[in-house]
Amino acid sequence: MTLNRRAFIGTGAAAAAALSAPHVKADNHAGKPKVVVIGGGAGGATAARYIAKDSKGAIDVTLVEPSRMYYTCFFSNLYMGGFRELSSIGHSYGGLAKGGVNVVHDWAVGVDRAAKTVTLAGGAVLNYDRLVLSPGIDFVDGAVPGWDVTSQNKMPHAYKAGSQSELLKAQIESMPQGGTFAMVAPPNPFRCPPGPYERISMVAHVLKEKNPTAKIIIADPKAKFSKMALFQEGWSNHYDGMIDWIGSDFGGGNVEVNANEMTVSIDGEVTKVDACNVIPAMKAGRICELAGITEGNWAPVHAATMQSRVDENIHVLGDASAQGDMPKSGFSANSQAKVCAMAVRGALTGSKVFPAKFSNTCWSLIDTDDGVKVGATYEATDEKIAKVAGFISKTGEDAALRKATFDESVGWYAGITSDMFGS
């Protein structure tokens, strides 16, 4: 897989194949167009799977992803609330491999756009005709004074699922009776707009059972948040008096933390806390910056194909992209990946390309059987992905409808994960 196309410029494909035949696996496909996908999450896994499946072997697809097991952020809050096992939100890449995707467990550490190659941490260099980037998010350095990634074991973000989720759950469960849980919420735009507030609901659910006199404080740099009326109604119905949300109007944006002392200072007032979830401001996964396709924190794309506005041979999906109106969600990333897969196949094999359609629905669980949702459909315009129509659950809905909404979210989880991983 170290075949480097630059070395063969001016040589026929057959000659190239003959030269490197003994050790280069991709060789028997030397003539086929190549797609490299970086990141095996909601966007990348879906794109790799669809390109391989729908091109029926006409395109070579390589997926680069360091982890052997992908833990979905979606439903990781339910794990925290005790509604799901961690193992039930872990997915391996066997289904993709079976579906014809060449899965390489490594980090991409560089992109040479002129040469159209990707370098991996292990040293391999992969050629591509099209590169798909879906690396998710990284955190903005210095976004929360006092916090950096070296504090993430004391004050976990749990905004990438897996060990971080386990850590935060353990810290919540070992809080002393009547203790304090704090969350530092992120500024817009960020991954999963209702995510922090669903998490608060799940933390409150656990504390209500195990530690009913505990308190929850949220320091928020925003004046309002996703599904705010629904969450606030739910919090006062289920967890009355337990949750104190401090929005930007009340100094929630003026925060500093000290992980060694376990203190949080909000608008100058210092509080000793027993568990603290810091969710800093976010930016596109670092490989986007390394590839030189970001503007500010995110990578801008053309809506109709998800192509980078900087380089037409690169597509950017999911959280990392700046695309317009869609929220940064797994559903959105999956939806964008299918539009991208169609565009990539069209460009590389001449298959038919239909007009892009996008959609999203985000469910949140407030307490047992109390589910709510928000969703919308979108279309591609020249400028951006633009919202067409939407809906949101209403306050005051009856218990049966809320339960039906939760049951539906369980169905969706099974649907999207089998759509991503093919199993």
Ligand X SMILES: Cc1cc2nc3c(=O)[nH]c(=O)nc-3n(C[C@H](O)[C@H](O)[C@H](O)COP(=O)(O)OP(=O)(O)OC[C@H]3O[C@@H](n4cnc5c(N)ncnc54)[C@H](O)[C@@H]3O)c2cc1C
For binding to other proteins (CB under 8 A), which residues are involved? 50, 331, 334-335, 338, 342, 352, 354, 357, 359, 361, 373, 375-377, 388-391, 400-401, 403-404, 407-416, 418-419
Give the DSSP H/E element, type plus range, for residue 271: strand 269-272
Q: Which residues of 257-287 are buried (b: 16+ CB within 10 A; e: fewer)?
A: bbbeebbbbbeeeeeebbbbbbbbbbbbbbb
Report CA 279 to chain centroid distance, whole Å.
Answer: 14
Q: Are 137 and 159 in contact (CB under 8 A)?
A: yes
Phi-psi region of 209 (alpha: psi -120 to 50; beta: other; left: phi over 0): alpha
Tell me: does residue 408 bind ligand HEC (CB under 6 A): yes
The item of ligand HEC, ligand X, other proteins, none sharing an interface with residue 362, based on CB under 5 to 8 Å by kind, is ligand X
CB 324 to other proteins: min, Å:
17
Give the residue with the Cβ less far from ligand HEC, 277 or 332. Answer: 332
400 binds, among other proteins, ligand HEC, ligand X, none (CB under 5 to 8 A by kind): other proteins
- Establish if 42 lies at the interface with ligand X (CB under 6 A): yes
Among 26, 37, 108, 183, binds ligand X (CB under 6 A): 108
Nearer to other proteins, 215 or 402 (CB): 402
Give 29's strand partners: none
Q: Which is nearer to ligand X, 87 or 177 (CB)?
A: 87
**Can you tell me the distance from the alpha carbon of 284 to that of 139, in angstroms, rounded to the nearest whole number?**
8
Site membership for ligand X, residue 131 (CB under 6 A): no
Measured on CA atoms in the order 299, 301, 307, 311, is the torsion positive or negative?
A: negative
| Closest distance of CB 157 from ligand HEC, Å | 28
Query: Strand 180-184 and strand 275-278: pairing?
Result: parallel
Work out how close the CB of 201 gets to ligand X at its nearest, in angstroms, rounded to a whole number: 11
Query: Could you give the C-alpha distances from 65 to 314, 386, 408, in angstroms and in order?
Result: 17, 30, 30
Site residues (CB under 6 A) for ligand HEC, limited to 338-367? 359, 361
| Alpha helix (H) residue ranges in 56-93 | 76-80
The residues binding ligand X (CB under 6 A) are 38-44, 64-67, 70, 73-74, 76-77, 107-108, 134-136, 159, 191-192, 195, 199, 285, 287, 317-320, 328-331, 333, 362-363
